[in-house]
Structure 1
Amino acid sequence: MMPDPLISLIVAAIISALLAWLFWPASGLFWRWQRTRELTERVLREDALKHIHQCEIHGDKPSIKSLVGALKISPEEVTQVLTSLEAHELLSTDGTHFRLTPAGRDYALRIIRAHRLYERYLAEESGFDEQEWHTRAERYEHQLTPAETEALAAHLGIPTHDPHGDPIPTADGVVVYPDERTSLTDLALDQTARIVHLEDEPEAVYAQLVAEGLHVGQEIRLIEASPQRLRFWAGGDEHLLAPVVAANISVIPVSEAPREEEILGEPLSNLKPGEMGRVVKISPRIRGTERRRMMDLGILPGTLIEVEMSSASGNPVAYRIRGALLALRKSQADLISVCPEESK
């Protein structure tokens, strides 16, 4: 029995459509899967280069085990990544030991440069919470082309450090790590220092540092140190951290620096309705568009601010600034330091 021509035509059309869906140039499912697989392989290679470079910088020996933890893949997949890096002449191996070639080191620094520049961009010009910067930069660093990276650097004014205090490699692959910085855990008692770096990994530890209100550039003074805790003064308040957390803070000792508790006043959020204070400092944690908005509204050192009223929940609070009313959230007012003044 001859097949129905209409049915044959329909079956042929379905098969043609299916093949087109799978293999259509550029947009077919097969080619999209192929591009995704290639991108994943490239991302793994670049992340491996970064990990090996960081190990070399800190004097550690990279290993298959350390790469398994960093890349979150199996040992067999790590071996494939290492084989690919060696084939691209980015890695040299000697038995169980491996190290970056000059080309591999340059490649790693390009990715690190893109990552830290993008973190700086997020800090200066986005509204993302600072705990999101690292994760977002981890993804975007693989998408920036060299030309886009240099355009971003120029847009940001060729910054030298990311918002966590890490040096940004130059376009020529030069990176300078300060020799004089030390861990907060090694600081002498009653020594004043300045925070120059906050380690942003692991995320849980960095989240704790952010919750404490700590930031790069902040002055700090160690009050007490024991195997169980470190007690120190920073940002006009006392802080307690376990040594394992405090080890993620790098500082540079400062000779005869003024003590913050004597010069920073108190947070604007401490004032009650009817009270007044004069701005003495705006925290560096207020960045980018938010900082420019505050400056446009007249919130500058020397500005007199009066607490007008608070909402039923106590947040936000209305402040009178240069004759105008402005509502600020407590999280914003916490970062504005004022010296209280007598109400007129």
Structure 2
Amino acid sequence: MKRRRTFDLVSYLQRLHLLPERLTRKTEAEDLLKQLYDHEKSTGKAPDRLTSRDLHLSPEQLEALQRELEREGLTEPGALRLTEAGRQRALELTRAHRLYELYLAEHSGYAPEDWHRIAHAEEHKLTEREHERIARLLGNPLFDPHGDPIPTSQGTEPTIPHSLSIEELTEGQWYYVEHIEDDEPESFRLLIDAGLTRDSLFRLNRLESARSQIYYEGEALELPTFAFVALTLRPAKEEELKESHSEDTIRLTRLPEGVEATILGLSPSCRGAMRRRLMDLGFVRGSSIRIDMHSPLGNPTAYIVRGAAIALRHDQARYILIQRPHASATE
């Protein structure tokens, strides 16, 4: 789970004397503060008690963190109930974390599995002024790259959409991904490796207890069924399917030799610098594209787009979505 990774990292750095004890305790206390806030928000009340085992802390560590929160006026004396200042600080940390994740997604080359780790380290350092500077840079967004709502500077946040349970999913139905939960690393990695992200559209081909199959960007992909728990899904709207051409879309990596196709756009999983670079190179909707030549080892491949030959690796070309060529065009 995410919290175990966080606390293990902090403890490791502390053992190597790479983090001052006071700074480490403050960071851990604020992590505990966010957990108390999440519990209060989901249940409407403060937890009756916390055990050090549940938090992967020693009893002495937990007691020290609770004293730290009381001393800072973030929890009420002798209780786990947040003060108004505690709720405000928890919201500030949540806002900083989600803004920074979106900043990393849009303005860095870090992989999605690294966003949480880096944002967790930065959330404790960012000032309110830096929050607002990042928010302005990103256009005052409402959601982070996974679809989690970003609290505003006034402390409000958009409502989280209802998530369909696995039992409510129907084979043959197209679904729209509104959120991917990154708290469970294994499920998150499987979904990201498949290219799924917020705003993805896929068809559920087969739903079984152990493994299921989806149709996404022209490919039939097998996934462990447990990974679907990390997805917040709703049925796709007819206009979304029509606009995305999801039923007639394939990835550029499947373009046959000697066939010209039309670019439909870029995958929603293509973000930040990579998305801007591909668009600057001419990989935009409506452009014609064909294979020019393969390298001796088959990767990269050179494509002709807008009169220019551009070489792309497979991991770059998979982001480019094209219209499936008609059978006559491949003969």
- Bin of the TM-score, shorter chain as denominator length: 0.7 to 0.9
Candidates 278, 282, 285, aligned match of 2:269 = 285
Shift of 1:261: 7.4
Shift of 1:316: 1.0
Give 2:7's aligned residue. none
Give the unaligned 5+ runs of structure 2: 1-16
Candidates 259, 272, 292, aligned match of 1:275 = 259
Answer yes or no: is the 8 Å Cα contact 2:142–2:158 preserved in 1. no
Give 1:323's aligned residue. 307
Answer yes or no: is the 8 Å Cα contact 1:230–1:246 preserved in 2. no
Shift of 1:175: 1.4
* Length-normalised TM-score, structure 1: 0.81
Q: Does 1:299 align with 2:302?
A: no
Shift of 1:132: 0.8
Q: Which residue identity lines up with residue 50 of structure 2 in the other structure?
A: I
Answer yes or no: is the 8 Å Cα contact 1:185–1:246 preserved in 2. no
Give the unaligned 5+ runs of structure 1: 1-32
Q: Which residue identity lines up with residue 172 of structure 1 in the other structure?
A: Q
Give 1:106's aligned residue. 88
Shift of 1:185: 5.1
Q: Which residue identity lines up with residue 136 of structure 2 in the other structure?
A: A
Q: Tell me the distance in 2 between the aligned counterparts of 1:269 and 1:189.
A: 27
Give 1:332's aligned residue. 316
Shift of 1:131: 1.2
Shift of 1:226: 3.3
Give 2:6's aligned residue. none
Name the SS for the 2:158 alignment partner.
Answer: coil
Write out aligned runs for 1:208-227 (5 A): 208-227=190-209
| C-alpha spacing 1:274/1:239, structure 2 compared with 1 (3 Å) | closer
Answer yes or no: is the 8 Å Cα contact 2:102–2:145 preserved in 1. yes
Give 1:82's aligned residue. 66
Q: Tell me the distance in 2 between the aligned counterparts of 1:235 and 1:323.
A: 26
Q: Does 1:49 align with 2:33?
A: yes
| Percent of residue pairs bearing the same amino acid type | 35
Candidates 243, 247, 258, aligned match of 2:241 = 258
Q: Tell me the distance in 1 between the aligned counterparts of 2:67 and 2:311.
A: 58
Shift of 1:135: 0.8
Shift of 1:239: 3.1
Q: Which residue identity lines up with residue 64 of structure 1 in the other structure?
A: L
Q: Which residue identity lines up with residue 287 of structure 1 in the other structure?
A: R
Give 1:36's aligned residue. 20
Q: Tell me the distance in 1 between the aligned counterparts of 2:170 and 2:77.
A: 42
Answer yes or no: is the 8 Å Cα contact 2:173–2:204 preserved in 1. yes
Q: Tell me the distance in 2 between the aligned counterparts of 1:189 and 1:99.
A: 45
Write out aligned runs for 1:65-76 (5 A): 65=51, 68-70=53-55, 72-76=56-60
| C-alpha spacing 1:103/1:182, structure 2 compared with 1 (3 Å) | farther
Answer yes or no: is the 8 Å Cα contact 1:223–1:231 preserved in 2. yes
Give 1:203's aligned residue. 185
Q: Tell me the distance in 1 between the aligned counterparts of 2:210 and 2:155.
A: 41
Give 1:246's aligned residue. 228
Give 2:4's aligned residue. none
Give 1:28's aligned residue. none
Give 1:120's aligned residue. 102
Q: Tell me the distance in 2 between the aligned counterparts of 1:335 and 1:169.
A: 31
Shift of 1:289: 1.9
Shift of 1:34: 12
Q: Between Structure 1 and Structure 2, whose CA radius of gyration is higher?
A: 1
Q: Tell me the distance in 2 between the aligned counterparts of 1:160 and 1:319.
A: 37
Q: Tell me the distance in 2 between the aligned counterparts of 1:85 and 1:125.
A: 34
Q: Does 1:178 align with 2:160?
A: yes
Name the SS for the 2:66 alignment partner.
Answer: helix
| C-alpha spacing 1:315/1:184, structure 2 compared with 1 (3 Å) | farther
Q: Tell me the distance in 2 between the aligned counterparts of 1:55 and 1:271.
A: 49
Q: Tell me the distance in 2 between the aligned counterparts of 1:104 and 1:126.
A: 32
Q: Tell me the distance in 1 between the aligned counterparts of 2:38 and 2:216.
A: 30
Shift of 1:210: 0.6
The Cα RMSD (Å) is: 2.6
Candidates 170, 194, 199, aligned match of 2:176 = 194
Number of matched pairs: 307
* Length-normalised TM-score, structure 2: 0.84
